[in-house]
Chain A
Amino acid sequence: MQLFSASDYMTEARTLLQDLVGPPYRYTDDTILMGLNGAMNEIARLRPDLFADMKYQTRMNPNAVITDNIPPTYTTANVGSVVPIPPQYKQAVVFYIAGLSQLLDTEDTTDVRATGFMTLFKASMTSLQ
Chain B
Amino acid sequence: MASPSVIRLIDTCRLHVPGSGDGILRLELFNAAKEFFRETCIWREELNVFVTATSYDYDLITASRGVIHTLMRLAKPNPPVGPNAVNKPANATGGDFNADFNSDFSGKNSLAPVATGYPTQPYNTAVHDAAPREGWLLASGADDAILRIKNLPNANEVWIAEVALTVSDPTDGDGIPFMPDWIVEKYQDTLLDGVLSRIMIHPAKPYSSAQGAMLHGKRFNMGKGQARNDARHGATFGVQRWSFPQQFRTSSQRSI
Contact = CB atoms under 8 A, between A and B. Distances in A.
Contact of B174 (A53, A58, A127): A58
B65 to A, nearest CB: 12
Contact of A126 (B18, B169, B205): B205
B18 A58 contact: no
B27 A88 contact: no
Interface string B1-37: 0000000000000000011111110110010000000
Interface string B130-163: 0000000000000000000000000000000000
Nearest to B27: A56
A56 B204 contact: no
B26 A57 contact: yes
A123 to B, nearest CB: 9
Given A49-B202, A126-B205, A60 B170 contact: yes
B83 interface: no
A46 B174 contact: no
Given A52-B27, A62-B170, A57 B22 contact: yes
Nearest to B21: A53
Given A47-B205, A58-B173, A59-B171, A52 B22 contact: no
Contact of B171 (A47, A60, A86, A128): A60
A49 B171 contact: no
B21 A50 contact: yes
| Interface size grouping (class) on chain A | 20 to 34
| Interface size grouping (class) on chain B | 20 to 34
Interface string A85-113: 01010000000000000000000000000
A57 B23 contact: yes
Contact of A57 (B30, B170, B174, B207): B174
Contacts of A126: 204-206
A125 B20 CA distance: 10
Contacts of A58: 173-175
Nearest to B206: A128
Nearest to B207: A128
Nearest to A58: B175
Given A47-B205, A88-B19, A128-B19, A52 B24 contact: yes
A60 B169 contact: yes
A77 interface: no
A43 to B, nearest CB: 12
A52 B28 CA distance: 12
A54 interface: yes
A53 B20 CA distance: 9
Given A49-B202, A88-B19, A56 B24 contact: yes
Given A57-B174, A59-B171, 17 more contacts: A53-B21, A54-B23, A55-B23, A56-B24, A56-B27, A57-B175, A58-B174, A59-B172, A59-B175, A60-B169, A60-B170, A60-B171, A60-B175, A86-B22, A88-B19, A128-B206, A128-B207
Interface of B: 18-24, 26-27, 30, 169-175, 202, 204-207
